[in-house]
Amino acid sequence: MKPHRNHPLWYAFALHRASGLLLALFLPAHFWVLSYALTDSAALDGFLRWTDYTLVKIAEFGLVFLLAVHMFGGLRLMVLEWLPWSPRQKTYAASAVAASFCLSTLFFLSAV
C-alpha cells in the first residue's frame, strides 16, 4: 500500500472500481444463465437449486453489496460533481458503505 493512498476517499475510489469491475465480470454469466429460460428452463431450475446452499446465499449477499455500494458510491460522485461542494465527503463515503451493508443484510435475511 503506497502511503500517499492511505486516506479514506482513495479507499472509496478503490471500492467503486473493484465493485464495478466485479459486477461487469458477473454480468455476462448472469445473462447466460437467465437465457436458459428460452431453451431449457429445466437447466435454469438446476442452476437455481444452487441458491439453496448457504455458501451461495453468502455469495449473493456479496453481489447485492457490490451492486448497492457501486450505486450509492456513484450517487456520491454525482452529488460531488453536480451539487455545491460539501465538506462532508468522508461522511458520504462512509454512509454509502453503511447503507449498502444494510440493504445486502436485508437481502441475506430474506434469503436464509
Partner 1 sequence: MIGVRLYMLQRITALLMAPLVIGHIAVMIYAVQGGLSAAEILGRTQGSLLWALFYGTFVVAVALHAAIGLRVITHETFGVGRTGLAILTTGLFLVLAAMGLRAVYAVTAL
Partner 2 sequence: MSDGSHSLRVSVWRGTQAGAFEAFDVPMQESQTVLDLVAWIQQNADPTLAYRYACRVGMCGSCAMMVNGVPRWTCRTHVGKVATDGAVEIAPLRNLPVIKDLAVDMDPFFDKWTEAGGAFSPTKSRDDAVEPILPETPERREADAAIECINCAVCYAACDVVSANPDYLGPAALNRAWSLVNDVKDGALDARLIAVSGAGGCHNCHSQQGCVAHCPNELNPTASIAGLKRATVRAALKGRI
Binding site for partner 1 (CB under 8 A): 17, 20-21, 23-24, 27-28, 30-32, 34-39, 41-42, 44-45, 48, 51-52, 60, 64, 67-68, 71, 74-75, 78, 81, 103, 106-107, 110-111
- Are the C-beta atoms of residues 65 and 101 closer than 8 Å to each other? yes
Long-range contacts of 25-34 (CB under 8 A, 24+ apart): 26/63
Distance CA 50, CA 18 (A): 25
Residues 9-28 that bind partner 2 (CB under 8 A): 9-10, 13, 16-17
Using rule CB under 8 A, residue 31 touches partner 2 = no
